[in-house]
Structures are given as C-alpha cells and as structure tokens.
Amino acid sequence: MHPTATSWFDRRTSSWRDWPLDRVARLKGDATVTVALATLDDEQTVGEIVDGVRILADQTGLVDEVVVVDSGSQDGTMKAATDAGATVYHHGDILSEHELLPGRGDAQWKALMVARGDLIVYVDADLAEFRSYFITGLLGPLLSEPDVSLVKACYDRPHPGGQVTELMARPLLNVYFPELAGMVQPLAGEYAARRSLLETLPFAVGHGVETGLLLDTVLESGLDAVAQVDLGQRTHGGGELAALGEVATAVLHTVLERIHPNDPRWDTLTQFNRVKDAITAVDRPVGGGKRPPITTIPQYASRSS
C-alpha cells in the first residue's frame, strides 16, 4: 500500500464497536442529524430500515429526522416508508423548476433541500439486514473529530458482492489516487457527512455519486477529512451483469472527469444481447450528468429550516 494510504488507514479507520450508542449520544451535543434514503422500487426493504432508524430516534434522540427522496418507484416504496415513519418526497416535487434527472445521486442532492440536519447520514434503501450501529458508527468520527467531514462505511460483502469495486473502482484509485488505496469500500452507499461539506460539492446524478464525493472531498479538504468505519457485513440486493457494467462505466467517467476534465468522453455504453440467432447491440446512457453545489441554487438559501 502507498505509505500515505497506510498512515491514513491507521489513523482514520475504526470499528462500529468503538462507537457505542451511549458514547455517540454524549458526543452529539447540539448537532442535528438527518438520516436520508434515496429510493427506487425498494418496497421490500425500506420499511424495515426506516423503522429501525425511527426506533433509534425515539429511544435515544440521536437522530432528529428520517427523510426519503423517491425517484419514481412503481411499487409500494413510498407508502412503506411513510408507514414506517419517514418524511417522504417524490424527487419531482423538490426543485421542480429544474430538469428532472434520474438517479440516486440526484435524489441525494435534493435531500439537502429538505433535510434539516447539520450531519447527513445516507443509507442505501436496499439493505437486507439493517442494524442501528450503522448509524452510530458513521456518526462517531464526525462527532469526535472536528477535522473529519466525510465518513465512509466499510464491510465484508457476501459473494458475489463488490464486483464493481474490485474490477473498476479499486484499480482506478490505486493507479490515479494511490493515497486512497486504504479505502476499503470506496463505493459504499452508507456514509455520513457534514452539511457544510456536502453543500459545497457537485453531485453526480447517477452511480458516480459516491466516487465523486470521495474524490472531491480529498481534493478540496485533504485526505484526513475522510474516515472509514468497519460495519461488519453488509447484505443487499445484487445487480445483473449488464447493470453492473453501467455502474462501472459511471465510476470510470467520474474518475476520469477529475483526472482529465477537458477530455471528451463518450457517454454511451454499448453492450450486446443475443436475440434468437442474431447478436444485437444495446446502447445505454452512462454519462448521467451532475448537479452543481447546492449553495449555487437560490432556493437553497431561502429554504425553511
């Protein structure tokens, strides 16, 4: 491992066991905490996650609100989240005067408009086994280390999870950003950050959002602004191989945008299917676009808080 990455790993890696609930609750002080979920057809899992966060909120006061921004689910996701106690928004109802863009990155960006917390904890809505220590673990470094602005989850992923990380994200980061070689799960969808950081960064609207936020945090604030917490094991829904190709290409786009911002990049991924006896090309858009720092949006300054 690169020496800088080794030093960072030793300083900035902890376990959820280092952040017991009573300790994190004492550290919270006057800070406010929002747990935010970006959803799309997550009816089977979102209710249990929101319910777990609401129990943590009601019993301890550690979490002040749970916000769900839905990207147009066709199942009962929004009802399940509402029934479990979340405040639920359709993404088209937030900043409706702006172009409607698909993607969880866009939903996470829009969550900043409606969330009240000083600290935002993003949790993937397809987690199969949510645990309350996911929240306490991610909050711990933010509440105890003023210099830390972004905390990423790391964990073991049962096979066949993590293909995009191992085949795309990790090699790219090791080659181009070797100081990030100590990042166990750079694509983790569970992370916590200070609003003061998130509101100054652009958000990739699609699958590049986690990569973009990680790189921009390091480029703008330095490596020590990032920490990671071991959450044990994470189980969630897997993806089809073709869909993983889209994710991998989005990650590639995001990294190359930071390395060669002025170079042209083709924003279509061509894959192939066999239909009867013929091989057919399938083009998938993967560029996705990005949202600007939300502080550049006039409505953000005037939002109710």
> At residue 23, does pLDDT exceed 90?
yes
Nearest CA to 202 out of 281, 105, 129, 292 is that of 292
**How many CB atoms sit inside 10 A of residue 277's CB?**
5
For residue 120, what are the contacts with CB-CB under 8 A and spacing of at least 6?
A: 33, 34, 36, 111, 112, 192, 193, 194, 195, 198
Could you tell me if 269 and 284 are in contact, meaning their C-beta atoms sit under 8 angstroms apart?
yes
Task: For residue range 52-91, list pLDDT tens digits in order.
Answer: 999 999 999 999 999 999 999 999 999 999 999 999 999 9
Alpha-carbon distance of 147 to 263, in angstroms, equals: 34
Across the range 176-184, mean pLDDT stands at 98
> At residue 219, does pLDDT exceed 70?
yes
- The pLDDT value recorded for residue 266 is 87
Task: For residue range 263-272, list pLDDT tens digits in order.
Answer: 888 889 999 9
Q: What percent of the chain has pLDDT over 90?
A: 84
- The two tokens of residue 54 are 């609401």
Task: For residue range 82-131, list pLDDT tens digits in order.
Answer: 999 999 999 999 999 999 998 999 999 999 999 999 999 999 999 988 99
Task: For residue range 230-247, list pLDDT tens digits in order.
Answer: 999 877 656 688 889 999
- The pLDDT value recorded for residue 227 is 99
What's the whole-number average pLDDT of the chain? 94
